[in-house]
Amino acid sequence: MSYTNAFSPDYTTARNRFRASALALGCRLEAYSIEETGPDGEDLTIDVAMLGNANPQQVVVVSSGLHGVEGFFGSAVQCALLEERLVSWKRSQEMALLLLHGLNPYGFAWCRRWNEDNIDLNRNFLLPGEEYRGSPQKYGDLNAFFNPTSPPSRFEPFVLKAIAIILGYGITSLTKTLPVGQYDFPQGLFFGGHSPSKTYHILDANLSRWIGEATDVVHIDLHTGLGKKATYKLFIDDPPESKSHQWLTEKFGADYVEADQTRKVTYKFRGGLGTWCQAKFPQSNYRYLTAEFGTYPVIQVVEALRAENRAHFFAPANHPSKEWTSQRLKEVFVPADKSWRSRCVSQGLDLVGQAIAAF
């Protein structure tokens, strides 16, 4: 079965479809404005759908769009779930399903990975006592390359420049510098912010109410852009010897579950949503899975991120680079290829089905 029709052309269509499908299924709905507007002046909201027991013992959470433009895929999975897979779901008396749609509605609407303050939201959820400052040691040295203060050009030999950087610094050093999060360069890539974001405040104020007194939680956060094309991995923080790791491997498969400590290239980043959620519910078995669906090689993804960020900050209004960098960014995170779209949504649906069946 093809799931290409599960994708929406823009944020507003995706939001309206999600809400209509949730209402048709009998979900309880909530919406939280981030007090920003989209390209057509529309209100931008994080939308929440809840189905099942109002006071559950087990909760399956499916969140989308933490990284803005990646929301096109996450929304497609959530809409297909509401419109097809859950129609015949025999609801457990002790279980609830919580769908968080468009956690970064600004990035979703404007086709950016970052939010309205250029924040990478998956670097913004610092734990109590952590400070919003500091950067990897070499980020300052690399900032001029990754964040040039000029409009992008289609003809820039990015790959050659990137190879020179890799040869000069080493791939391991770069991996432990660029994606881990930084708090000193507000116009730079992977900026974690100077304070908690609006999304942080919304989740902080409501997640405890949504989860309630549940003893067991499986949270699937849908992402794209990392890994082999049209395949997925489930990244977790739990160490390989932990009971949680063993449980997740048993339920979701050893070929898919990957802990930080077992990855070929490892790096520890600050401010991740998963770590924050688990710390917020110490009384629960809160199992958090970052579901990464592969698209393009990482060098193409970084190139698209770099070009879009340059156009956003340093290209004049109506400069042609604004359009082509935005289109390119959407393509590397949500490929137009129909086979990729159908296969990955199908995999996403099966993954949610495994989470529901896990209890």
Segment 32-41, tens digit of pLDDT: 999 999 999 9
pTM, to two decimals: 0.96
* Amino acid 264: pLDDT: 53
* Amino acid 263: pLDDT: 57
Q: Where are the beta strands (DSSP E) in the chain?
A: 28-37, 43-52, 58-63, 95-101, 216-229, 232-236, 257-259, 285-294
CA–CA distances in Å: residue 332 to residues 75, 220, 223, 327: 17, 21, 12, 9
Q: What is the CATH number of domain 4-129+189-300+329-357?
A: 3.40.630.10
Residues 6+ apart with CB under 8 A from 142: 165, 169, 174, 177, 178
Which residues of the chain, if any, have pLDDT below 50?
Answer: none
Supply 260's token pair.
């930080």
As a whole number of angstroms, the distance between CA 292 and CA 63 comes to 13
Q: What is the pLDDT of residues 135-179, one digit of tens each?
A: 998 999 999 999 999 999 999 999 888 888 888 888 888 888 888
* Amino acid 266: pLDDT: 52
Which one, of 286, 289, 290, 288, lies nearest residue 216 by Cα?
Answer: 286
* Amino acid 262: pLDDT: 57
* Amino acid 215: pLDDT: 97
Supply 154's token pair.
């289609």
* Amino acid 91: pLDDT: 76
Domain boundaries, the chain: 4-129+189-300+329-357
* Amino acid 177: pLDDT: 87
Contact between residue 232 and residue 253 where contact means Cβ atoms under 8 Å apart: no
